Every structure is written in C-alpha cells, then in structure tokens.
Amino acid sequence: MPVLSVALTSALGFLVGTAARPLVFARSVPAPATSCSNCPHCQTALLGRRRLLLPISGRCPACAERIGPPALSVELSAAAVFAAVAAGGATGWVAAAQYWLAACGIALALIDLAVQRLPDVLTFPACTGTLLLLAAAAAAGESGSLGRAAAAAAAITAVFLLLAFFAGMGLGDVKLAPAIGALLGWSSWMSLWWGTVAGFLVGAVCAVVLLAIGRDRRTQVAFGPFMITGALAVCVLGF
C-alpha cells in the first residue's frame, strides 16, 4: 500500500473520529440513562439540530470544562486504525466492511471504556453494515465466503451468549459478536479462531496489568475494545 494512500486514509479516519466524538459524548452515560446532550457542568445544550459536532479539544465551548473523551483521543485513534486497515491491503467491499467496523468500533470501544456498555444504537449498525458490505463483496465475486461469514457470526454469537449466561459477559458484547464473527469468518475459520483468541489474550493481559498496578479485582473490565482490536488486527495481518 503506497504511503500516500495510507496517509490519505489516515486523514479520512481523523474526520471520521471528529464525526464520532459527539456520539461518544452522548452515549457515554451510565445505565439506565441512554444519552445526554448537555454539558454536565453548565448544562449548556451541546448537541441538536444546529450543532452536530463538538470541539476536538474535548472542552465545553461555553464553560471550557472537560466534556467527553480527552482532546484528540477519538480523532487520533480513528486515524491510526484507518491507517492500519489501509496498510493491511484489503480492497473492494471487504475493505469497506473493515473500515465500517473500525468506524463503529472506535466509538464503541471508547464508550465501553468510559461506562462499560455497548449501546444498541451502535452495535446494530455495526452488525448490519458489516453483513451488508460482505454480501456486496460476495455479489462482486471477491475472495471469501458469505456463507462461512454468516455461520461464523452465528457460532461466535452462540459462544458469547453462553458466556453471558455462565461467565458474566455483557450482552453488549453478545450483540457486537455477529459483526466480529462475520468479518473474521469471511476469510477463514482460522481467522475466526485467531481473532477471537487475540481478543481474549489482549483482554487478559490488560486485566493482569490493571491488577498489578492496584486495580480492585472486582472492577469490571470492558471487553468490547479487545474484541474489536483482535478482529481488526487479524484482518490487517491476514491470518
């Protein structure tokens, strides 16, 4: 992949992150609330028909207090992930599916890290969009299998559903599983295996590190970011 193409894709990712920042802010609220649109400090209305974006500084334009994710965190994360996907060399509709999951995944990961939840308003589009783009890839004759992608989505969802019932995994992770499974299963069953294992391994390492630095072992660790990281890493590396 030419350096210029990766750079341009990274710039596109930065713009995607800019567009995602309001969504991360709005949905990073503890249950049972579902969203917020006002500054938590001065109660100024930040989102609405006339305002669709938030400052990348991560501060309220009215009171200058911190709101939502830190400055540039969403934008630079999206830029880095988009650059990595571009460097992986995927093309066509399969590449579009990877970028789609990356775009949804950045917002989902940051929300999950903030409040340990994966909102339906993002998991449903992530799954639907990924499956539709893979269906387009199949129609275009791109290398891969839509049937295997669907079977992989069903298989990993079933496994995660069992983990939700018996091991306390969040239902948000279960709802995100079809997108992860479909994208990995499109290439091969081995990709599904390695992508799933990678998510659990990275999650386990991070949990150990948190315990080592004094985090309470009863503290819930968001698993969504590791699911997304594992899946995209395997796609980029071509396992």
Do 70 and 102 reside in the same domain of the chain? no
141 and 152 fall within a common domain = yes
- Residue 154 and residue 72 in one domain: no
Query: What pLDDT, in 10s, does the model give residues 185-236?
Result: 999 999 999 999 999 998 888 878 877 776 655 556 678 899 999 999 999 8
66 forms beta bridges with 59
User: Which regions of 15-92 does DSSP assign to beta strands (E)?
Assistant: none
CA distances from 226 to 53, 147, 176, 200, 222 (A): 27, 25, 12, 7, 8
Give the whole-angstrom CA distance, residue 228 versus residue 104: 10
Helix (H, G, I), strand (E, B) or coil at 200: helix
**For residue 4, what pLDDT is reported?**
85
Instruction: Please give the pLDDT value at position 215.
Output: 63
Residues 28 and 143 in one domain: no
On whether both 125 and 157 belong to a single domain, the answer is yes
Amino acid making up residue 215: R
Q: Name the phi and psi angles at 16, rounded to 5.
A: -60, -40
Angle between helices 224-237 and 189-212 (to 10 degrees): 130
Whether residue 112 is found in the same domain as residue 201: yes
Query: Around 193, how many Cα atoms within 13 Å sit in the side-chain half-sphere?
Result: 4
The segments of the chain whose pLDDT lies below 50 read none
Q: What does each C-alpha distance from 186 to 25, 80, 158 come to in angstroms? A: 33, 24, 18
CB–CB of 227/178 below 8 Å?
no
| Statement to judge: residues 50 and 108 lie in one domain | no
Are 83 and 199 contained in the same domain? no
Tokens of 202: 């990275």
28 and 103 share one domain: no
Residue that finishes a domain, picked among 49, 71, 89 = 89
Same domain, yes or no: 109 and 191 = yes
How many whole angstroms separate alpha carbon 183 and alpha carbon 170? 21
**Region at 144 (left for phi over 0; alpha for psi -120 to 50; beta for the rest):** left
Give yes or no: residues 122 and 186 share one domain.
yes
- Same structural domain, 144 and 223: yes
**Where among 89, 120, 146 does a domain terminate?**
89
How high is the pLDDT of residue 188? 94
Q: Give the model confidence (pLDDT) of 109-127 as tens digits.
A: 999 999 989 999 999 999 9
Residue 167's domain comprises: 92-239
Q: Of 72, 69, 99, whose CA–CA distance to 87 is shortest? A: 99
Number of domains forming the structure of the chain: 2
Boundary (domain end) residue, out of 89, 105, 127? 89
Output the pLDDT for position 219.
Answer: 56
59 DSSP β-pair partners: 66
